[in-house]
Structure 1
């Protein structure tokens, strides 16, 4: 088995890569684990449309029948949406197992970065990255996303780290690993559902062109690792900080009581928060993803324009 046997790139995506046209990688856990069917499929298709409307080619990534698939079809998106939680939530550790068994996997941020890099895609738009979980000083629960960001040359556009996490420790971890954290038109790290966190990013950048130039400079310097571009949720969809903090606290206590740990933690907390907020957090989640992939497409376009 060699890479060309297991890496399947949609012809439209491959053509764009070959011709130095902008391509944006998209994850698939948002389809299988992010929300119920058919809203998950509708959201994924809308995300692809927004990328196209902003001048780039979407490449939703998943593992389908053991193949690392870059640019899955609408039918494959529907398949993952219907299969839902029965699809393996695939991070770095899961990729070789799923490939060897010929199984399906919905890719997390870490796995999407790996497969995007193998395909030659440099920009990835998502909701929020994983990070250091609350209480990690005893549980050691730290997302593989952070380690991937230190190793894999893909820029990740997100609304910050998910606010269920310890944002201060997440920033410290990224700093230790030398990963730049950029704020798009903000100096403050956005906290997923809200625009503020109380923590500062490393640098503020106000245009997609400025961000693209930084990415190109990093590439020219042969510096390994990714870059985190944080993009605050639009004001009209942002949730009240005290309200969402209370919901997160309630959900976290419930998860602790039930003994939920590891990779089950984030899906459980997001689902519980959605129920506590009567769906408001899910709507915020969808809107921030739309906002992020729009910026990702603009950055990818500018990156292709740099000579």
Structure 2
């Protein structure tokens, strides 16, 4: 959709019109939490990782009262250098920020809204803000949830931001009719730990199953968004009690010192990192990378699902109804619990220019080379 306040780069505009897979990246959390040059290096590595999947990355920010969709290297360097001197702009802030010719990072609620408005289906972020605990009262509210409800995207993130009430956030998501599912998890995760006491309705095992379910949602003209939760790996988890204690301690210290604005974010990220001996930063970096790559897989699978050569076999086997597992079809068929092999060759290995050519080339390889690729595939998926 055209809008006189939005400038879309030629690359993104062409990708939207040609229905090329695209992922919108929320990068405000990176620029706000990391110092230069680490923030710029991480953003550029995410861009390169997404491109490896044959997917176009779309970054956004507000520049002198204009919304820019599709950033250049100079734009990214500018945001990295000027993280302390520019605004933080949510969806609610957009009208006044544009009228005032502001420049700033677009927070997740704004990225969700603009992505949906211009026709980008998949968004990757670190986490979402939820329903406040008493700790954060007066600091943030669930703008992310309101934006998800009013938009139509598939958001990949690692769960609920620390400091928010997970049970009440789930209730809010359900009230707003936002579709919530877990990627290889039965539980609604927090950002730093994978299990909570809130069970999800559905668990999906492959990007292909996610793509099919999202496209069916759109074919039924159901307009609210789809929230896919990609939990932190066990190896990067932080004990719930430890992380909540660290956040509370850092918050109370910041409040006593009357630290506000960007300084507040800097202090919280740095202090929690210190209190967890660096574990919080390690989890943050892992989740950012994992979510971007999963979003790229899903975006590509959506594109394949819309073509005549899609492989839809056994998609239902990769969707588990958590509350009632008996409804899952063929649950003992472990062979379907993986991404399609040829899709993996095409999307990840960039095996050929087209899906059909990928299959043809593989079938003409020597038996030894075929066996080697299949072994690599099994190791990657597991």
- For the criterion TM > 0.5, the same-fold answer is yes
State which drifts further: 127-136 or 82-91: 127-136
Is the Cα contact below 8 Å between 2:135 and 2:163 reproduced in 1? Answer: no
Distance in 2 between residues matched to 1:114 and 1:251, nearest whole Å: 32
Is the Cα contact below 8 Å between 1:157 and 1:292 reproduced in 2? Answer: yes
The equivalent residue for 1:171 is 170
How many angstroms does 1:259 deviate by?
Answer: 6.1
Is the Cα contact below 8 Å between 2:188 and 2:200 reproduced in 1? Answer: yes
The equivalent residue for 1:231 is 230
How many angstroms does 1:85 deviate by?
Answer: 2.4
Distance in 1 between residues matched to 2:32 and 2:184, nearest whole Å: 30
**Closer/same/farther in 2, CA of residues 265 and 227 from structure 1, 3 Å limit:** farther
How many angstroms does 1:270 deviate by?
Answer: 3.4
What secondary structure is seen at the aligned counterpart in 2 of 1:181? strand
Distance in 1 between residues matched to 2:132 and 2:274, nearest whole Å: 21
The equivalent residue for 1:50 is 49
**Superposition TM-score, scaled by structure 1 size:** 0.91
Show the 5 A alignment for 1:141-220: 141-220=140-219
**Superposition TM-score, scaled by structure 2 size:** 0.74
**Closer/same/farther in 2, CA of residues 168 and 138 from structure 1, 3 Å limit:** same
How many angstroms does 1:210 deviate by?
Answer: 1.0
What secondary structure is seen at the aligned counterpart in 2 of 1:204? strand
How many angstroms does 1:165 deviate by?
Answer: 1.4
Distance in 2 between residues matched to 1:251 and 1:116, nearest whole Å: 34
Deviation sequence 1:204-237 (CA, Å, 0-9, x none): 1111111111111111121122111000112332
Distance in 2 between residues matched to 1:291 and 1:185, nearest whole Å: 13
How many angstroms does 1:274 deviate by?
Answer: 2.1
Does 2:25 correspond to 1:20? no
Is the Cα contact below 8 Å between 1:32 and 1:84 reproduced in 2? Answer: yes
Deviation sequence 1:15-60 (CA, Å, 0-9, x none): 1111111100011312431211111111111111111122311001
State which drifts further: 14-23 or 93-102: 93-102
The equivalent residue for 2:309 is none
How many angstroms does 1:257 deviate by?
Answer: 3.9
Which structure has the larger Rg over C-alpha atoms?
2
Root mean square deviation of aligned Cα: 2.4
Distance in 2 between residues matched to 1:21 and 1:171, nearest whole Å: 33
Question: How many equivalent pairs are there?
Answer: 306
Distance in 2 between residues matched to 1:96 and 1:45, nearest whole Å: 29
Distance in 1 between residues matched to 2:137 and 2:231, nearest whole Å: 31
Is the Cα contact below 8 Å between 2:250 and 2:272 reproduced in 1? Answer: yes
How many angstroms does 1:163 deviate by?
Answer: 2.1
**Closer/same/farther in 2, CA of residues 172 and 137 from structure 1, 3 Å limit:** farther
The equivalent residue for 1:103 is 102
The equivalent residue for 1:306 is 305
**Closer/same/farther in 2, CA of residues 3 and 263 from structure 1, 3 Å limit:** farther
Is the Cα contact below 8 Å between 1:70 and 1:119 reproduced in 2? Answer: no
How many angstroms does 1:202 deviate by?
Answer: 2.6
**Closer/same/farther in 2, CA of residues 282 and 136 from structure 1, 3 Å limit:** closer
State which drifts further: 247-256 or 87-96: 247-256
What secondary structure is seen at the aligned counterpart in 2 of 1:296? helix
How many angstroms does 1:280 deviate by?
Answer: 2.5
The equivalent residue for 1:41 is 40
Distance in 2 between residues matched to 1:107 and 1:137, nearest whole Å: 21
How many angstroms does 1:168 deviate by?
Answer: 1.3
**Closer/same/farther in 2, CA of residues 169 and 252 from structure 1, 3 Å limit:** farther
Q: Where does structure 1 lack aligned partners over 5 or more consecutive residues?
A: none
**Closer/same/farther in 2, CA of residues 197 and 57 from structure 1, 3 Å limit:** same
Distance in 1 between residues matched to 2:194 and 2:260, nearest whole Å: 27
How many angstroms does 1:9 deviate by?
Answer: 1.2
How many angstroms does 1:240 deviate by?
Answer: 3.1
How many angstroms does 1:258 deviate by?
Answer: 5.0
Is the Cα contact below 8 Å between 1:31 and 1:77 reproduced in 2? Answer: no
What secondary structure is seen at the aligned counterpart in 1 of 2:92? helix
